[in-house]
Structure 1
Amino acid sequence: MIKPLISLAAMLALALPAAAQEEPQGAPSPNEIVGQAAPEEWIAIAPEDLLVMTLAPADDGTERKVVIQLMPAPFSQGWVENIRTLARTRWYDDITVNRVQDNYVVQWGDINYDNPEAEGEAKLLPDGLRVMEVKDYAPDVPLRSFSSTGGPLKSDDYAERVGFVGSIPVGYRIYSPPPGARLADFLTQAWPIHCYGMVGVGRGYSPDTGSGAELYTVIGHAPRHLDRNIALVGRIVDGMEHLSSLPRGNGALGFYTADEADKRTPILSVRIASDLPEGDRPSFEYLSTGGETFARYAEARANRRDPFFIVPAGGADICNIPVPIRRAGE
């Protein structure tokens, strides 16, 4: 007689709604730890650093807004400056989503710029945009700028070390320090990491580094091979579902083909939050990555001990420790 792989009791338990199963008590979950954070551990994101992108409404008329936290200094500031210029000159208005590659990226920009299906003239870019160099992908950053390093973070094949600068996941390497230097004074070469929801700048072949007119976000497994090869300029803090659920393109690299014009989602407007009327400004906060609560949260993400889990993992990839975000006042 062949024995069943799962007992009848277990099958019945799985069939019950989650709320009907008695949850055992145990260590708090990562979300429960975050919920215990003191108000002073939450850091407000300045309205000048939030980009509000309004997509055309969904088929059922639902409004679709995506909010992006722009990259803080010292990373990618030339591109961030360009993005503010492009938003304030309304260059982004009426562009479209042109590429959706499954488990990879969503990309948006002018349909007639660097698009296999381009048929018309590309939009003229505003004057005064900065031109960056490849070296700007990974600037020198003092180690004291890092709010969190080490701990449960697993080393990986893409960076000697990983950590956080503010709310941004970063890879880095430490330069050989001068004799007698304090650890905080060590200089690093550091770069943002391509985790889910990070926003980057589309470009052509090097030495082209892109202007910021064409942007993309990661919607799949972290493509870490792009680190230090493309500029990252921020991360999506709200509305990710509006991009990750878009129909995939069937053309090369996920571009929409000529027969898929109806799949392109129009982008109605892109605005800096500080330029919006006060009542329309989104307001977000992130959990300080230098505080005790974040350290506990990161440890809990790396070694789940809440009742559902059986074996702690012993560490975590940095992209599996997303920095918690919330609307201000929640």
Structure 2
Amino acid sequence: MRHRLLAAALALAVATPALAQDAATPPKRKSAKEIIDAAPASAWRDLDPANTLYMELPAGRVVIELAPGFAPEHVANIKALAKGGFWDGLAIYRSQDNFVVQWGDADGDDKAKAKPFPAGARDHLPAEFTRSDKGVRFDRLPDADGWAPEVGFIDGFPAARDPKAGKAWIAHCYGVVGAGRNNAPDSSLGAELYAIIGQAPRALDHQLSVVGRVVKGMELLSVVPRGPDPMGFYEKPEQRAPIVSVKLASDVPVAERTPLQLLRTDSQAFRDATEARRNRVDDFYTVPAGHIDLCNVALPVRTPPKG
């Protein structure tokens, strides 16, 4: 009996340091990808076909989510233009390095050459640079921002807010789509659109009417050959990147649509994935940043799982 008690005591003494070490070792933190992959079905939302554009290029499809909550009159005009086939056969006529690609009618300023608007499209719109923040769900990031008092997400779009002014707007992050204009604030029609392909030009925030953002197909826009300095407008028509068509997803047969889901920005999975990016701890990131920029918070997109 004495030998058995001694053996048990020795075994406990050997095991205790290991148990103490295990207790002191914090559990491995999940990566943003692991968090997103494990997100429940309730954390995802379907892309609304009535507010989705398909821009067909020879190289493939660009999917754009429209933002009627921020620019309702521009979005309505864009829908009318798409239904009337306005962009079909037009082109990307500008590609400025580290800035934007822009598409529409390159001859739009020449009344003799400009493509006519289809029925239902308007030829004058108000500037829609900001929206009221009253009654709006704002999924705020705690991180400081140099361009606005607060930043976060509204309706899934990267947004900024000025609570004192009661205004909110979509931030010019990579992939955001806006309506080009001349000097007059109310000179945009939604016919000439641009997408950000470079570092976020936040100085453009609340200076233009932002109408949405690319959710799939940025790799097709970002590789369009750059135009010449200073602003990337192609000098010759043959240099332009042709557009096959632009249609509302709701006008495309269901079998031909691109089914997509976006992670809800009000979900715990989105918050946890953002925190994992803010404070990365793994074999490569030796010092957590403790900060994340609004435009570095990518919104996860997936194809809905079958079944």
| TM-score normalised by the chain length of structure 1 | 0.80
**1:186-225, aligned counterparts within 5 Å?**
188-225=166-203
Give, in angstroms, the shift of residue 129 of structure 1.
3.5
- Paired residue secondary structure (1:233): strand
Shift of 1:127: 4.3
Which of 80, 84, 97 aligns to 2:75? It is: 80
Say which one has the larger Rg: 2
Q: Does 1:68 align with 2:86?
A: no
SS of residue matched to 2:146:
coil
- Aligned residue number for residue 4 of structure 2: none
Query: Contact conserved, 1:45 with 1:285, CA < 8 A, in 2?
Result: yes
Out of 206, 219, 227, the residue aligned to residue 205 of structure 2 is 227
Instruction: Say whether residues 1:173 and 2:175 are aligned partners.
Output: no
Which AA in structure 2 matches 1:279? Answer: A
Could you say which residue in structure 2 is the equivalent of 1:123? 115
Shift of 1:329: 2.3
Q: Structure 1 residue aligned with 2:269, among 293, 296, 307? A: 293
Q: Which amino acid aligns with 1:172?
A: R
Seen in structure 2, the aligned counterparts of structure 1 residues 319 and 142 have a Cα distance that, compared at 3 Å, is same
CA distance in 2, matches of 1:55, 1:213: 17
Report the counterpart of residue 183 of structure 1 in structure 2.
Answer: none
Runs of at least 5 residues in structure 2 that lack an aligned partner in the other structure = 1-26
- Alpha-carbon contact 1:76-1:232 (below 8 Å) kept: yes
Moved more, 199-208 or 214-223: 199-208
The AA in structure 1 aligned to 2:279 is N
Distance in 2 between the 1:299 and 1:207 partners?
Answer: 38
Percent identical across equivalent pairs?
40
- How far does residue 224 in structure 1 lie from its aligned partner after superposition? 0.3
Distance change >3 Å, CA 316–CA 143, structure 1 → 2: farther
**Equivalence map 1:105-184=2 (5 Å):** 105-114=100-109, 121-130=113-122, 131-134=124-127, 136-142=128-134, 144-146=136-138, 148-151=139-142, 154-175=143-164
Deviations 1:84-111 (A, max 9, x none): 0000001111110100000000001112
Change (3 A) 1:140 1:247: same
Contact kept, 8 Å, 1:251 with 1:257, in 2: the verdict is: no
Say which of 88, 96, 100 aligns to 2:91: 96
| Structure 1 pair 306–27 and aligned structure 2 pair: CA distance change class (3 A) | farther
Whether contact under 8 Å (2:176, 2:212) holds in the other structure is yes
Corresponding residue for residue 15 of structure 2:
none
Q: Is the 8 A contact 1:26 1:305 kept in 2?
A: no
Task: Structure 1 unaligned segments of length 5 or more: list them.
Answer: 1-24, 58-63, 177-187
For 1:288 and 1:307, locate their aligned partners in 2 and report how far apart those are by CA, in whole Å. 29
Partners of 2:162 and 2:135 in 1: how far apart?
A: 10
Q: Cα RMSD (Å) of the superposition?
A: 1.9
TM superposition score normalised by structure 2: 0.86
CA contact (8 A) 2:66 2:75 kept: yes
Q: Does 1:240 align with 2:202?
A: no
Query: Alpha-carbon deviation of 1:166?
Result: 2.2
